[in-house]
Copies of this chain bind each other. A is one copy, B any other.
Amino acid sequence: MSLANRNLVVVDDLSNGEVEALFSLSDEMSNSMDKQSGVCRGKIMASLFFEPSTRTRLSFEVAMHRLGGSVVSAVDIGATSLAKGESIADMARVVGSYADIIVIRHPWEGAAKVVADYAGVPVINAGDGSHQHPTQTLCDLYTIKKEKQTIEGLNISLCGDLKHGRTIHSLTYALARFGATIHFRPSPGLELPEHVKRKLTTEYTGRLESYDNQSDIAKVRFFPLDAIYMTPSKPHQLANIPDVSLQIEMKTGVDALYITRLQKERLMATAESQDLKTDYPVIDRKSLKGKEFKRTLVMHPLPRVDELAYEMDADPRSMYFKQAACGVPIRMALIALLSGAKEVSIAKEADSFVHNMDYPIYRRNFGVKCQNQNCVSVNESRYITPEFGIINLEPLTLRCAYCEHEVHPQYIASSDWHEGKVDTKKYHRADSHWARKIKPENLIIFDSGGEAEAHGFKPSHYAREHHLR
């Protein structure tokens, strides 16, 4: 099976079976590293890093060199074409006409999708803002799989900055798809974003239990328990009260504990930064001395700052340097597959605990916009038409096609009912029955009544009342 000309923008771009096949190819390449130098001979990878990085970039570049390919890289881009005002799309088109495959890191959520939309060659997302970091997730999964033989049914704790950590977001989806049970243990104030939680509950087939009023027992560890995602593969194992959950965890043990640094560079306000830093806990031997941690894989995407003690380096449970080291063979396999240099056979698609949702698409170059100021569609609005999936009608909920953040718009109208008849050109409240009545392809959605009126719509009776309040 060929994956040629596919992209890896989000972790769901690869099916479970494709991920397993990629892992096998990675094993094969690891075992005969010096025989891979002809695989991508003559091919050129462009590595475009709009954000600083050393580890990720070098592992991609080393991977391409081990495959016998060439690399051109632009690591100073923030200071270059951005300064000249160039768009991501233009860069993608031009670099896509030079190189055979593109690796992109960018501070804006959704930027990798824009590159993939315009480049015309396979694109790999090496991290787009706080959105996703799918190749890190492949390394994480691969490490767990190597050590535990499976992902399904494992108890995995994700700890620390769950809000900004793109590695956390990608990993959460992947773990859910492969049937793991996930304990979310954020540093207070850095909980998993709402849109990630929602995606877990709508698209993945397990159950998410949140603990808003954190019980004392939930706080007992270094990081308080905020939520548990319970996989359908082990439906009876976990109860929906944290006390019981923790008791079970005590019995079965934590299979992996994944900790991330505080993503300081993504904190918006200085105040936020200073408040949070003081509380950020440290994983060390002492915090992992309970028997439920006896066989726990201690994982970290690196770089670490102070949240993971150096004394852990010698501990056999520590996996973070293994995670890093598998970055080269995993990325070798990925580049070889997407560039078409290698094919894999996928015997039978593995179980994937995910509903494939076909949400109606909403796409207009006026009206509702993504509210995430770090979304590529907001920052490159010169040429990007806002696009959303309509993931719910009551309440009306849109998911940005770029950054996956949600919007809850207030007003709607129809493009169908007013042709030639100005007095029928009305806009309605999004929470009225009109949300279901208007066909998705006719729907026009506005951020505000003023915007609707600027486009020639008049408020309906209820919308006016709402407007006046």
Contacts and interface: CB of A to CB of B under 8 A. Distances in A.
A267 to B, nearest CB: 13
A325 B57 contact: no
Given A54-B74, A90-B304, 14 more contacts: A44-B62, A52-B83, A54-B86, A55-B94, A55-B95, A58-B72, A65-B70, A81-B303, A84-B303, A86-B303, A93-B321, A94-B321, A94-B325, A97-B325
Nearest to A263: B84
A44 B61 CA distance: 10
6 contacts: A44-B62, A53-B81, A55-B94, A58-B74, A306-B382, A310-B383
B97 A261 contact: no
A85 B305 contact: yes
Interface residues of A, number: 56
A389 to B, nearest CB: 24
Contact of A261 (B42, B84, B303): B84
A14 interface: no
Contacts of A93: 321, 324
A83 B94 CA distance: 31
A84 B44 contact: no
Interface of A: 34, 37, 41-42, 44, 46, 48, 52-55, 57-59, 61-62, 65-66, 70-72, 74-77, 79-81, 83-86, 90-91, 93-95, 97-99, 261, 264-265, 302-306, 310, 321, 324-325, 327-328, 382-383
B34 A42 contact: yes
A351 B34 CA distance: 41
A302 B52 contact: no
Contacts of A62: 44, 46, 72, 98-99
Contacts of A86: 54, 302-305
B59 A327 contact: no
A81 to B, nearest CB: 5
